[in-house]
A and B are shown apart, each in its own frame.
Chain A
Amino acid sequence: MLHANLREIVGKREIIEEVHSPAILKHLLDKLAQMYGKDFKQIVDQREGKTSLEFLVSINGQVTRDVYTKLNNNDVVMLSIPVGGG
């Protein structure tokens, strides 16, 4: 699931990506960075080796900063930005 300007870049709200098993979040993010460029590359804070605090990355709703989190079949990965409110 893509939100905010990530959605605008891709032009879709939702994409289905296949990643090879065993898969981790990093594989998916690297692939998207290659396909869609700079903004997607910035999702990972290269200094920390974790997802950047400027983004909100969740797997099945569970927010994660660990790019080595395992991905399972049919997992929903949401790439968004932290905006507060309701």
Chain B
Amino acid sequence: MQDTIPHLMASPRSAKNPWLGKRVVDESMVWTRKVAYIDLTQGTIIAKPIPKDLRRLYLGGRGIDMYLLYNHLEARINPLSPQNILLIGVGMLCGIPALGSGRCDIAAKSPLTGAVGDSNIGGFFAPELRLAGFDHLVITGKAEKPSYLWVNDGQIEIRDATHLWEKDTFETQDIIRDDAEDDEVKSLVIGIAGEKQVRFANIRTGMKNAAGRTGMGCIMGAKNLKAIAARGTLDIEFAHPDELIEYSLEMNDKILNTRWAKAQSRWGTLIIYSNTNTTGLIRTRNFQRNRLENGEDLEPESMDRYTIGMSGCYGCSVHCRHRYVLKEGPYAPIFGEGPEYTSLGAFGTMVDCKKMDTILVANHLVNKYGLDTLETGGLIAWAMELYEKGIINKQDTAGLELTWGNEDALFKLIKQIAHREGFGSTLADGFKPAITAIGKDSASYAIQIKGMSNLHSDERPTPSLALNIATSTRGADHLRSRPAIDLYGLPEELLEEIYGVPVSADYTSYEGKAHMVAWQERLYAVTDSIGICKFQTVFCSVNAPKWDEFSKLIYLTTDLQLSEDQLMQVGERIYTIERLFNLREGFSRKDDWLPDRYFDEATPIGLPIAKGKKINRERFKKMLDEYYLLHGWDENGVPKKETLEKLNLDQEPSHQV
């Protein structure tokens, strides 16, 4: 919060809230920020205004990125070729002092899956890019030598990055700041994994934040693009600043008074582990068990040994990330931020490591090298099961003993993946190529959808969550549509009020769950497009902001009037254009399906509600049919003509910009 205030300062100030500005602006910054087309091969940069109609239809961030991706990318190109485009998109509400509004969306054709590549990143980069005058970057081609982009007050330069090559993600940011002699420079960077074009390399900013999923760091590496650095001194302007700030503060108060926000402020996302592990909703030893036995050291309180404070992203009042110091052990000292609940799964439960120290070291390594936590952990857990089953052996792994809980092997394999060395080179291209390379029965043990690893949650007891990972446009993934509130056993009248139809309060039921998933898809598509944190929407709590609050915030920020229904339609439009993209790339209904183990192997342990559970094939098929119907797609998952017309998608690609 402190960091957001200087940008919002304006005089005179009101007595009630000293930082409330009175400035009257002709136009919100949303209408003045530009989209820049950067061709790294030619070295050309062209800036254009963003059409107002496009804002109305797609808002910003993920929405406009998806429009640009569908419009500008030639079908079926090699994602590592210069023709692939890398899109950087600032969320529409970026800069408001609430809801973690500093989020940025990064998209391309995924080198991991061949489907929609898209990842959302918090921190402080997006506001800086907006202060520098740009909301969207469209990056094509390939630089002749290592390069980085320098974005500053309406200007963009392609600069030499030879001296940054082979530097880790932390060093790279430091050197860019030192070169600019400006501590306020914010950068998106890749590490060695991106340079080596590991297909699940991520993009990072700050100590903690990552655009982790779908391999966007690999695309930067393929373009010889080491970093995008931004520094801006333009003003952040809102259409109705006084009302906006007052409303934002009101929302911050409301959120901070909830128990979930207080818990996240204290324990971060690690707090989720207590519920899910107790119940038996966590996959362990890849997919063999659904609870980590004797996993007490992974309980959130263990972080008290290392935590020196909590920090947050731009515009966030919750501050859900630990700042920690690991003082002992062969990798010490380590100073870092996190770890998230997902790291706890990737380097704890899935590989059967039971010490928080292990999580912190592994978390540090993937951050330093620039690897996606979930994909790295998912692949290593899979390899450990293959090793246990004798499908691979010590010869295949070049001497690594991939036994459960072997933290030394875990650390070595992370390093090997990032550098494409040893057995790591087999895993560095992700599940599909690794399955081909290893052969035998290795595919049966892979917990992946569309080529992307699932997180460590076990969805066998929860059909809604299973549908969520099966249908996600970017592969097995919780952040596209997870109806986490399904786990809360909320009153059915309240669920009906939210979702508009009867929904069972029992999370093991299939009734109404297709509605839940479709609704959450729309909500998260809009959330990623206005650029706020998902935790501060209906993800954690039914009372968190949703359509009506979004509608008001958009009006106060931009003067654009969009009703709740119109916003829901925007969400549907974004999800459908992603679907069109995937269909064009050859994906179909068969790809909206779970690994066989979900249907064939019952959960072996857990509390009675979670034990002995598996997904029923027939019921899941019906749920998928219902889900397609709700979207106006045919039985093969292809949007119908009338659906495209209703969503203004019948003329796409329309090349409005």
Residues of A at the B interface (CB closer than 8 Å) are: 1, 3-5, 7-8, 13, 53-56, 58, 60-65, 76, 78, 80-86
Contact = CB atoms under 8 A, between A and B. Distances in A.
B279 A58 contact: yes
A63 B484 CA distance: 14
Given A3-B275, A54-B259, A78-B275, A83 B607 contact: no
> B267, B345, B607, B609: which has the most chain A beta carbons within 10 Å?
B607
B263 A60 contact: no
Given A84-B272, A86-B456, A60 B296 contact: no
Interface residues on B, range: 35 or more
Given A78-B278, A80-B274, A81-B263, A13 B489 contact: no
Contacts of A53: 488, 490, 494, 542-543
A78 B278 CA distance: 8
B542 A3 contact: no
A20 to B, nearest CB: 23
B540 A82 contact: yes
A8 B341 CA distance: 20
Given A60-B608, A61-B607, A82 B345 contact: no
Contacts of B342: 86
B259 A55 contact: yes
B455 A78 contact: no
A84 B607 contact: no
Interface string B71-98: 0000000000000000000000000000
Interface string B500-530: 0000010100000000000000000000000
Contacts of A65: 489, 491
A29 to B, nearest CB: 16
A7 B301 contact: yes
A82 B457 CA distance: 16
B48 to A, nearest CB: 39
B271 interface: yes
A83 to B, nearest CB: 5
Contact of A54 (B258, B282, B606, B607): B258
> A58, A64, A81: which has the most chain B beta carbons within 10 Å?
A81
Contacts of B124: none
Nearest to A57: B489
Interface string B310-337: 0000000000000000000000000000
B485 A84 contact: yes
A62 B609 CA distance: 6
A83 B271 contact: yes
Given A78-B278, A86-B341, A86-B345, A60 B271 contact: no
Nearest to B494: A53
Contacts of A62: 489, 608-609
Contact of A86 (B266, B276, B609, B610): B276
> B271, B278, B540: which has the most chain A beta carbons within 10 Å?
B278
Given A13-B296, A54-B259, A82 B488 contact: yes
Nearest to A8: B301
B569 interface: no
A4 B606 CA distance: 20
A11 B478 CA distance: 33
A65 to B, nearest CB: 7
Contact of A61 (B263, B457, B606): B606
11 contacts: A3-B275, A13-B296, A56-B489, A61-B280, A63-B489, A81-B260, A82-B488, A84-B539, A84-B540, A86-B272, A86-B345
